[in-house]
Amino acid sequence: MLVTAGPTREPIDEVRFLGNRSSGRMGIEIAREAARRGHPTTLLLGPVGDAAGLDAFGVTVHRFETAESLRQLLDSLSPYADLVVMAAAVADYRPVTRHAGKLRREGKPITLDLEPVPDLLAEVAGRRPTGQRIVGFALEPAERLDESARAKLVRKGIDAIVANPLETLDAAGIRGRLIHADGRVEMPSDDSEVVDKSRFAGWLLDRLEVLPSRER
């Protein structure tokens, strides 16, 4: 099982970056629970979170900073996974150039040129080996959670997606639901209930262990 977690950091200069508030907690809990159940598990973890103690569970951890470094790890590791869970909050845009040294204060507005980051999840799905199952995460405004998440699942060509509202980012709990490629929606007991991320990981793993594979 291959799990990604945490934010990316896209450098502006040698001291600053564009990032996001992801804590990596959800992906870390999923990797911990998978390893605890005996699945050989690798976690690709961004520059946050505490990987200490994951060794004891048998999780292999590789760290990344930029979307490009995550992309390279996925290129080499994803072909060997039976199940890929992309919980990382990957940048959608990054600065075109990284300024040497430190950008100086000149007291007037400046403009950063940004370029799109490739959709890593769609890339992994595009080269999946037969039988590999791929699960994404979708961070969405609560009012159109299912609809947007379902559109992402189809666009990225994956098997299931965990839809979670924006307030899940950086929080201890999650109000998530699992949307399947066949349209089924599953949620922990009560739709409005915020579930601790470690408990959600157990609930999710119960479902991912029996997720049907999309044979091609």
Distance CA 176, CA 7 (A): 19
- Confirm or reject binding of residue 160 to ligand CTP (CB under 6 A): no
SS3 call for 165 = strand
Cβ proximity to ligand CTP, 14 vs 92, nearer residue: 92
Whether 81 contacts 4, CB under 8 Å: no
The count of chain residues that interact with ligand CTP, using the rule CB under 6 A, is 14
Q: Minimum Å distance from CB 53 to ligand CTP?
A: 24
- Confirm or reject binding of residue 117 to ligand CTP (CB under 6 A): yes
Note the Cα 192 to chain centre separation in Å. 23
Cβ proximity to ligand CTP, 137 vs 200, nearer residue: 137
Window 52-81: contact mask with ligand CTP (x via CB under 6 A): ---------------x--------------
Q: Minimum Å distance from CB 88 to ligand CTP?
A: 5
Window 124-153: contact mask with ligand CTP (x via CB under 6 A): ------------xxxx------------x-
Four-residue CA torsion sign, 203, 205, 209, 214: positive
Both tokens assigned to 92: 């959608």
- Confirm or reject binding of residue 121 to ligand CTP (CB under 6 A): yes
Distance CA 77, CA 45 (A): 14
| Whole-angstrom Cα Rg for the chain | 18
- The region of 50-58, 88-96, 191-199, 205-213 touching ligand CTP under the rule CB under 6 A is 88-96
For residue 173, the one-letter residue type is: G
- Confirm or reject binding of residue 167 to ligand CTP (CB under 6 A): no
Distance CA 148, CA 145 (A): 6
Distance CA 184, CA 62 (A): 33
Whether 117 contacts 19, CB under 8 Å: no
Window 181-210: contact mask with ligand CTP (x via CB under 6 A): ------------------------------
Interface residue list for ligand CTP (CB under 6 A):
67, 86, 88, 90, 92, 117, 119-121, 136-139, 152
